[in-house]
Amino acid sequence: MVDTGGMIATLSQASPKASAVPQAPQAGRGSYWITTFGCQMNKADSERMAGILEAMGYREAQAELEADLVLYNTCTIRDNAEQKVYSYLGRQAQRKRANPNLTLVVAGCVAQQEGESLLRRVPELDLVMGPQHANRLDVLLARVEQGQQVVATEEHHILEDITTARRDSSVCGWVNVIYGCNERCTYCVVPSVRGKEQSRLPEAIKLEMEGLAAQGFKEITLLGQNIDAYGRDLPGITPEGRRQHTLTDLLQFVHDVDGIERIRFATSHPRYFTERLIDTCADLPKVCEHFHIPFQSGDDAVLKAMARGYTVDRYRRIIERIRERMPDASISADVIVAFPGETDAQYRRTLALIEEIGFDQVNTAAYSPRPNTPAADWPDQLSEEVKVERLRELNALVEQKARERSARYAGRTETILVEGRNPKDPAQAMGRTRTNRLTFFPGLRPDGSTIQPGELVNVHIGEVRAFSLSGTLA
Ligand code: SAH
Ligand code: SF4
Ligand code: F3S
């Protein structure tokens, strides 16, 4: 599987992939290749689809050009993400003309957005399937094998998947807790491609975590596009009149899975981020002190035009509360510049907020008009020059702040969960701090024994960079 690098690299910031555990090839149908674009939701879906393919008897191909089945799990969050998919598809369509036995699948958000029209654009495709259909890949492929060209984009209740996902890591696992998004941010294509919110039952989530723990996984990231909305589609009211199922209750419910050492969650929405959630994170020892809370803009009028449902002041109070309870917490976010009508003064308020908060990491983007979103039709779109210039200045500030935040680690001893080897230097091991800073250190102990993925080791931090750290074993 190839991961093209996260659009929202929230928890895998600048993350070289730890080498995957080799798995015994199975006899059967031929080989598959999956390329994943976009966010963790897509990465998690790809792991499940790979699991389904392996259960069907496919084995992972050594190279994309050798594969008998190629699946692109696509992203359309910005125009450049969508265009990238078409250029990849062009190459495979050409290959298919020479080799009609090749099976070509487009899954994910571009598939959902374009549906049938993808077939007109690329007639060589065998299967176009939206994200809600990921767990049905086997059923859909069976129809392809009968000679049909299949489009699966109708709304679908996501059923529990009984296949074992083929996970890229053997240490850190993703667990979906809520699919879809019911927000209506005026720039965002996600609600139209991911559909309505669907929460999984707490028992199913815990069961998956227990399964992962039994396989040796140490860290779980609970996933949702708007994870704070978890549970609002599930029935149940507590005797105190609260919703029975919230993210806070879920964290408490899954916290004690034996063997899991660290729990993270993403992505949080400031509108729903509660004090009760912050207090619970502070109280539960396995929940890591890292919070990914996109703020999108530092200006109230822009936030209103984006329909985000909070003010800058509310955002500040959340961060203050987190830092009161967890002083060392790392905070990351997403931000958009050059939203339609954004004035220079409004843009400067975004810079000022970054300066004031001091983020550990910010994913930045220039606004990109998306199909079926209100803001795309607004008249006051900004020029490419303004977008490029604002983004350039913003990125420089983000890096400077990240560097300042990294400085606090110098000389400290941090507990690192080992994920694998540094792909650029196999003599080094790599892992993360609880606060999600990528950390490199020697892969051998003084006694000559090798440090293994899944171990928790204490590392004395020497060198600090904007987005990573290096050190020696303490
Ligand atoms: N659910 C998350 C974000 C999901 S999309 C949230 O509410 O914050 C990931 C990020 O992509 C967003 O946070 C936003 O910063 C960016 N993004 C989404 N739509 C965009 C657009 N049309 N143009 C530029 N960036 C966009
Ligand atoms: Fe998009 Fe807003 Fe939903 Fe996030 S909360 S996925 S930005 S609509
Ligand atoms: Fe992209 Fe779809 Fe995720 S549009 S960011 S892959 S939800």
394 touches ligand 3 (CB under 6 Å): no
pLDDT digits (tens, 9 = 90+) for 246-304: 999 999 999 999 999 999 999 999 999 999 999 999 999 999 999 999 999 999 999 99
Strands annotated E in 277-369: 290-292, 330-337, 361-366
Distance in angstroms (rounded) separating the CA atoms of residues 157 and 198: 8
pLDDT band at 3 (very low <50, low <70, confident <90, very high): low
What is the share, in percent, of the chain residues with pLDDT greater than 90?
90
Q: Which atom of ligand 3 is nearest to the CA of 42?
A: 6
Question: How many other C-beta atoms can be found within 10 angstroms of the C-beta atom of residue 448?
Answer: 6
pLDDT digits (tens, 9 = 90+) for 50-76: 999 999 999 999 999 999 999 999 999
Q: How far is CA 233 from the centre of its chain?
A: 22
41 touches ligand 3 (CB under 6 Å): yes
Distance in angstroms (rounded) separating the CA atoms of residues 134 and 34: 13
User: If you measure from the C-alpha of residue 73 to the centroid of ligand 3, how many angstroms do you get, rounded to a whole number?
Assistant: 10
Token duo for residue 152: 């699966």
pLDDT band at 13 (very low <50, low <70, confident <90, very high): very low
76 touches ligand 3 (CB under 6 Å): yes
Distance in angstroms (rounded) separating the CA atoms of residues 13 and 467: 8
Give the residue among 152, 141, 99 at the shortest CA–CA distance from 124. Answer: 99
The full DSSP string for 385-449 is HHHHHHHHHHHHHHHHHHHHHHHTTTT-EEEEEEEEEETTEEEEEEEE-TT--EEEEESB-TTSP
Q: Give the ligand at the shortest distance from the Cα of 183.
A: 2
Amino acid 19: pLDDT: 38
Q: Which atom of ligand 3 is nearest to the CA of 225?
A: 7
Distance in angstroms (rounded) separating the CA atoms of residues 332 and 290: 8
226 touches ligand 2 (CB under 6 Å): yes
What sign does the CA torsion over 325, 330, 336, 338 have? positive
Amino acid 159: pLDDT: 82
User: If you measure from the C-alpha of residue 429 to the centroid of ligand 3, how many angstroms do you get, rounded to a whole number?
Assistant: 31
User: If you measure from the C-alpha of residue 134 to the centroid of ligand 3, how many angstroms do you get, rounded to a whole number?
Assistant: 14
Q: What is the DSSP letter of 139?
A: H
Q: How far is CA 69 from the centre of its chain?
A: 25
Cis status, amide bond into 36, omega within 30 of 0: no
pLDDT digits (tens, 9 = 90+) for 392-441: 999 999 999 999 999 999 999 999 999 999 999 999 999 999 999 999 99
User: If you measure from the C-alpha of residue 187 to the centroid of ligand 3, how many angstroms do you get, rounded to a whole number?
Assistant: 13
Q: Which atom of ligand 3 is nearest to the CA of 41?
A: 3
**189 neighbors 166 (Cβ within 8 angstroms):** no
Distance in angstroms (rounded) separating the CA atoms of residues 85 and 211: 34
Token duo for residue 184: 């209506």
70 touches ligand 2 (CB under 6 Å): no
pLDDT band at 163 (very low <50, low <70, confident <90, very high): confident
Q: Give the ligand at the shortest distance from the Cα of 36.
A: 3
Amino acid 162: pLDDT: 73
User: If you measure from the C-alpha of residue 195 to the centroid of ligand 2, how many angstroms do you get, rounded to a whole number?
Assistant: 11
Q: Which residues contact 417 (CB under 8 A, 6 or more apart)?
A: 171, 172, 218, 219, 261, 262, 431, 432, 454, 455, 456
Fill in the amino acid letter for 296.
Q
pLDDT band at 17 (very low <50, low <70, confident <90, very high): very low
Residue closest via CA to ligand 3's atom 1 equals 75
8 touches ligand 2 (CB under 6 Å): no
**351 neighbors 394 (Cβ within 8 angstroms):** yes
pTM of the model: 0.93
pLDDT digits (tens, 9 = 90+) for 310-330: 999 999 999 999 999 999 999
Task: Say whether pLDDT at 14 is over 70.
Answer: no
Q: Which of 11-15, 100-104, 145-149, 286-290 has the lowest mean pLDDT?
A: 11-15
Q: b or e along 266-279 (b: 16 or more beta carbons within 10 Å of the residue's beta carbon)?
A: bbbbbebbeeebbe
Within 13 Å, how many C-alpha atoms sit on residue 128's CB side?
23
What is the share, in percent, of the chain residues with pLDDT greater than 70?
94
Task: Say whether pLDDT at 152 is over 60.
Answer: yes
Give the mean pLDDT of the chain.
Answer: 93
109 touches ligand 3 (CB under 6 Å): yes
77 touches ligand 1 (CB under 6 Å): yes
Average pLDDT value for residue range 12-27? 40
Q: Choose which residue among 8, 226, 297 to substitute to test ligand 2 binding: the one with the highest number of ligand atoms within 8 A of its C-beta.
A: 226
374 touches ligand 2 (CB under 6 Å): no
77 touches ligand 3 (CB under 6 Å): yes
337 touches ligand 1 (CB under 6 Å): no
In 3-state terms, what secondary structure has residue 288? coil
Q: Which of 122-131, 240-249, 363-372 has the lowest mean pLDDT?
A: 240-249
44 touches ligand 3 (CB under 6 Å): no
254 touches ligand 3 (CB under 6 Å): no
Distance in angstroms (rounded) separating the CA atoms of residues 290 and 14: 16
Residue closest via CA to ligand 1's atom 5 equals 77
pLDDT band at 142 (very low <50, low <70, confident <90, very high): very high
User: If you measure from the C-alpha of residue 262 to the centroid of ligand 3, how many angstroms do you get, rounded to a whole number?
Assistant: 25
